[in-house]
Amino acid sequence: MLAQPIKNIYTCFPGGRHKALTFSYDDGREEDRRLVALFNQYGMRGTFNLNAGIKTDPQRVPMSEYAALYKGHEIASHTYLHPTISRCPLDQVARQVLRDRMELEEAIAAPVRGLAYPNGSYSPQIMELLPMLGIRYARVVPTTGSFGMPDNWFAWAGTCHHNQDLLNRGDQFLARHKTQYLDLMYVWGHSYEFTTHDNWQVIEDFCAKMAGHEGIWYATNIEIVDYMDAANRLQFTAAGDRVYNPSACSVWIEADGKKVEIPGGTMVNI
């Protein structure tokens, strides 16, 4: 019996898409209220990195409002007190992360599994520690200027800060059409910077430009990580004619140009 022809099989984002857009905003300042309202208006999804230990700053959103304000988005850790953690004893870094997780989780009644490094500070030892503290990914400060997927979830670099020519980068992202790539646009910053620089119009114009595109998956950081974990668990036959999905969620692939959904717990012919 002759071997079956080899197929080109690609991982897709949900719905068979090849583009995703996500945001990451730090510190939980009062300006998050306006930013969340913009995201909700335009259908954007974001991750908000918060410090549970900074409770007396009147410029920050009270923890009692986290669950309601950030509903539909992701809350992630920014450590408890926002120290420069590469200078801290490793056991104290663990305390900073775990205490932050515990108080945030108490406030929102949900797991907290992401982190943005405070002051952009981290080390190889901290990266190794984080999975043992229940953290699944961590965002760094430097950006790539590109739309590729990260090589290391614990050194996840965004595409750009929102002050880095955001609207032009959005146009570049929308113009990408080669479906053999997974394209991810990742924007980060601090919401108070829009007030400081008097440029709220930039993020509103960007959200309006990016809204409502059928080919874009609007996702939080952790949703992207979890989906890619599920995609990497797919089990293909050597012939490439069947695939089993052991995860609970659906995963999408493209096989010789055909989009295929593999529901959780099922075997699918491709």
Global pTM value: 0.97
pLDDT for position 123: 98
Enter the tokens of residue 105.
Answer: 């989780």
* Confidence band of 193 (pLDDT split at 50, 70, 90): very high
247 to 77, 97, 152: CA distances (angstroms): 26, 28, 22
> How confident is the model over 37-51, as pLDDT tens digits?
999 999 999 999 999
pLDDT for position 270: 95
pLDDT for position 111: 98
* Confidence band of 4 (pLDDT split at 50, 70, 90): confident
Q: Tell me the sheet residues that pair with 128.
A: none
pLDDT for position 2: 62
Residue with tokens 């910077």: 193
Do 114 and 137 touch, CB atoms closer than 8 A?
yes
Mean pLDDT of 229-239: 97
> How confident is the model over 92-130, as pLDDT tens digits?
999 999 999 999 999 999 999 999 999 999 999 999 999
What's the chain's average pLDDT?
97
Mean pLDDT of 185-194: 98
pLDDT for position 211: 98
Do 30 and 59 touch, CB atoms closer than 8 A?
yes
Residue with tokens 């509103």: 204
- Neighbour tally for 190: CB within 10 Å: 19
Do 135 and 168 touch, CB atoms closer than 8 A?
no
* Confidence band of 80 (pLDDT split at 50, 70, 90): very high
Which domains does the chain carry? 1-16+235-270 (no CATH), 18-214 (3.20.20.370)
> How confident is the model over 136-151, as pLDDT tens digits?
999 999 999 999 999 9
CA 88 to CA 120: how far, in whole Å? 14
Is the predicted pLDDT of residue 82 greater than 70, yes or no? yes
Q: Which residues of 86-110 are buried (b: 16+ CB within 10 A; e: fewer)?
A: bebeeeebbebbbbbbebbbebbee
pLDDT for position 1: 55
Is the predicted pLDDT of residue 3 greater than 90, yes or no? no
Amino acid at 168: N
